[in-house]
């Protein structure tokens, strides 16, 4: 199984794998409680999110498109990241949402951004998304997808950061050295946020 950088022609297939992986995600279920709409809109949004990230060269998939890992590099500002999503076509997403869905999306996005700004006060590699299609989970694909950016972070002696909303993911990320630094309920919901950091490698 080969891990490859995502090119534009890979974005659709890798994005659809992520959409399948995130169908039961607590945040996506909160924003889009109707499963049919959730499936439709995730399959719209993820290919564009994938390409928005891949334009900077820090997105990885497998040769059979079983999943994807999307990273934000330390030199990439939040605003450049937002611009990349805009250029990739996600600017259309708000027009596809019902008013209540849009309000939930803004709420979640604002809280996540505030948490990241408070926790990331020095250069970090940020894992925005990691997902594997449900029919391919348990094959070690997540490890393969994480290896390129983790190796680079170690070479640069930089920490890594991520947010997950599933408690069961803590043990998975723990295998790669991530530790919970903060956790709590998202304001006004029953959705949990877990912030994790992987310390910088100090010795080689």
pTM of the model: 0.90
Say how far apart CA 165 and CA 29 lie, in whole Å: 11
Q: What is the pLDDT of residue 14?
A: 97
Q: What is the pLDDT of residue 180?
A: 98
Here the tokens at position 150 are: 């983790």
C-alpha separations of 188 from 30, 108, 109, 137, 163 in Å: 11, 11, 14, 32, 18
Q: How would you classify the pairing of strands 160-164 and 192-198?
A: antiparallel
Say how far apart CA 42 and CA 17 lie, in whole Å: 10
> Of 133, 181, 122, which is closest to residue 156 (Cα–Cα)?
122
Helix and strand counts by DSSP (H, E) for the chain: 7, 7
Q: What is the pLDDT of residue 54?
A: 86
Q: Which residues partner with 146 through β-bridges? A: none
Say how far apart CA 146 and CA 91 lie, in whole Å: 28
Residue 181 three-state SS: strand
Q: What is the pLDDT of residue 52?
A: 84
Q: Taking a C-beta distance cutoff of 8 angstroms, is the pair 146, 176 a contact?
A: yes
Q: Does some domain include residue 187? A: no
Here the tokens at position 36 are: 């049919």
Which CATH number characterizes residue 61's domain?
Answer: 3.40.630.30
List per-residue pLDDT tens for the chain, 204 residues long. 799 999 989 999 999 999 999 999 999 999 999 999 999 999 999 998 898 888 877 899 999 999 999 998 887 666 665 666 666 566 677 788 899 999 998 899 889 889 998 999 999 999 999 999 999 999 999 999 999 999 999 999 999 999 999 999 999 999 999 999 999 998 888 999 999 999 998 655
Computed from CA positions of residues 117, 160, 134, 12, in that sequence, does the dihedral angle turn out positive or negative? positive
Say how far apart CA 136 and CA 142 lie, in whole Å: 10
Q: What is the pLDDT of residue 64?
A: 96
Q: What is the pLDDT of residue 80?
A: 63
What is the extent of the structural domain holding 133?
3-158
Q: Does some domain include residue 189? A: no
In this structure, how many other beta carbons lie within 10 angstroms of the beta carbon of residue 17? 27
The number of folded domains in the chain is 1
Q: What is the pLDDT of residue 81?
A: 59
Say how far apart CA 21 and CA 131 lie, in whole Å: 6
């Amino acid at each position: 199984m080969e891990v490859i950088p995502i090119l534009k022609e890979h974005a659709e297939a890798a994005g659809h794998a992520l959409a399948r992986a995130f169908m039961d995600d607590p945040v996506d279920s909160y924003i889009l409680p109707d499963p049919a709409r959730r499936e439709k809109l995730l399959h719209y949004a993820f290919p564009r999110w994938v390409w928005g990230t891949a334009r900077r060269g820090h997105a990885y998939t497998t040769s059979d498109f079983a999943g994807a890992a999307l990273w934000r590099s330390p030199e990439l500002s939040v605003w450049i990241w937002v611009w990349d999503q805009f250029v990739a076509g996600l600017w259309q997403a708000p027009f596809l949402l019902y008013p209540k869905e849009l309000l939930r999306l803004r709420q979640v996005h604002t809280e996540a951004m505030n948490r990241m700004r408070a926790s990331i006060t020095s250069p970090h590699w940020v894992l925005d998304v990691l997902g594997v299609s449900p029919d391919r989970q348990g094959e070690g694909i997540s490890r393969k997808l994480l290896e390129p950016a983790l190796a680079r972070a170690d070479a640069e002696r930089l920490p890594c950061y991520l947010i997950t909303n599933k408690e069961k993911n803590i043990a998975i990320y723990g295998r790669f050295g991530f530790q919970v630094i903060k956790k709590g309920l998202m304001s006004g919901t029953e959705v949990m946020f877990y912030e994790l950091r992987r310390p910088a490698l100090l010795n080689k």
